[in-house]
Structure 1
């Protein structure tokens, strides 16, 4: 399973590099990026379904726990000591399971946030790249440089997919909470860094285009082109 995921990442990276190797072409649709978004959306959909099931389980556990608590409240103090060990263990198991379920829901929601940001990263790349290709202030060599930078950022973001699946699989395998949290935090930090790098690079390119505008009219045109107030 792990090997297949790594092979998928390698294939995606190869397709990305070959796609980004054509600076003179106007890229209307980039299959590699659509694949990245499709995988991220698939993760989000799967997580939504898991969260729904866990929330239903949470309700059931809370109701079961409440029933036992009601029994406890009705028992007299001397009767509590006679309460069977089986019932005590059952109450303890419900409480522990409820805590575990709530913890997993928290993990899932964080993974969903990471996947959503990865989709925003791809969308922001597509939007900016399509604009830069139309901007007459950039020559072919500069567009090639942009592609190399974007390729590095996007390749780094692709590595998060494998890590996300690793965390999802960890709920059916042996992995400590500490290790799971460590992976999630690392992936979240990485995708945040990828997103911030991309946004900063886009801003630098827009600023360069503005600096190259020769007239006030040209400056206004560039601002309008990039949606700058």
Structure 2
């Protein structure tokens, strides 16, 4: 992807640089889809975490009650502790460990969706600036739009993976397989975000290179918030 973005930057450099009117360009059609799906994932995760946290509290209380009963028994009475009660205690412990493990997975998934949200925000910030930058022609803005669309579409594939992980908690998927999918989705969204920021940096650099005077350079720096 980085090689492709380098090629994108070269294509922009090969285009002539007449001044372009600061026309309004609509946001990419895919943007609202990405936003809506990401919001849906975050809401689903928050709801599941809340339910699991409530279940954790219930299990901890139940386990504590069993422990209190055990602590009050005398040594000779412990031997009379029924197998059913032993299994009950063991069941609480195992279920609690399982719930805590799932919560950890959900928090990891939430980190991925947070990176997805950050990617969208970075796209919106840059897009709103580039479409007003008079150093770019309208044809170049349309070219940027194609690159951004590609990056956002790739990020959507990662969200699909996250939905797969969420569904996996109701299936027989192993922890190892689930963790593999989570790590893959995390790596891919990191790569998407890096591609986006690199493309943005290249475009800012191109705008600076096209500035013809020191005053123009300073205006570009101020426009993009460059120190």
Residue 99 of structure 1 corresponds to: 97
Whether the 8 Å CA contact 2:158–2:189 is kept in 1: the answer is yes
**Residue 212 (str. 1) matches residue 210 (str. 2):** yes
Q: How does 1:149-228 map to 2 (within 5 A)?
A: 149-228=147-226
Q: How does 1:74-113 map to 2 (within 5 A)?
A: 74-113=72-111
What is the rounded CA distance, in whole Å, between the counterparts of 1:138 and 1:25 in structure 2?
11
- Using the TM superposition, name which of 89-98 and 138-147 deviates more: 138-147
What is the rounded CA distance, in whole Å, between the counterparts of 2:184 and 2:93 in structure 1?
30
What is the rounded CA distance, in whole Å, between the counterparts of 1:186 and 1:56 in structure 2?
30
Consecutive unaligned residues of structure 2, counting only runs of 5 or more, are: 1-21
Under a length normalisation based on structure 1, what TM-score does the superposition of the two structures give? 0.85
Q: Give a deviation string over 1:44-66, Cα, whole Å, max 9, x none.
A: 11111111111011001001101
What value does the CA root-mean-square deviation take over the aligned residues?
Answer: 1.6
Q: After the TM superposition, which parts of structure 1 deviate over 6 Å for at least 4 consecutive aligned residues?
A: none
Structure 1 residue 30: Cα displacement: 3.8
What is the rounded CA distance, in whole Å, between the counterparts of 1:27 and 1:117 in structure 2?
25
Q: Give a deviation string over 1:2-33, Cα, whole Å, max 9, x none.
A: xxxxxxxxxxxxxxxxxxxxxx9633444421
What is the rounded CA distance, in whole Å, between the counterparts of 1:25 and 1:209 in structure 2?
17
Residue 47 of structure 1 corresponds to: 45
Under a length normalisation based on structure 2, what TM-score does the superposition of the two structures give? 0.86
Give SS of 1:174's match.
coil
What is the rounded CA distance, in whole Å, between the counterparts of 1:168 and 1:180 in structure 2?
9
- Using the TM superposition, name which of 115-124 and 141-150 deviates more: 141-150
Bigger relative contact order, structure 1 or 2 (CA pairs below 8 A, ≥6 apart):
2
Change (3 A) 1:88 1:97: same
What is the rounded CA distance, in whole Å, between the counterparts of 2:155 and 2:27 in structure 1?
19
Whether the 8 Å CA contact 1:26–1:130 is kept in 2: the answer is no
Q: Give a deviation string over 1:98-133, Cα, whole Å, max 9, x none.
A: 001011111111111211211221121122112111
Alignment size in residue pairs:
206
Consecutive unaligned residues of structure 1, counting only runs of 5 or more, are: 1-23
What is the rounded CA distance, in whole Å, between the counterparts of 2:140 and 2:40 in structure 1?
35
Q: How does 1:1-150 map to 2 (within 5 A)?
A: 26-150=24-148
Change (3 A) 1:140 1:217: same
Give SS of 2:212's match.
coil
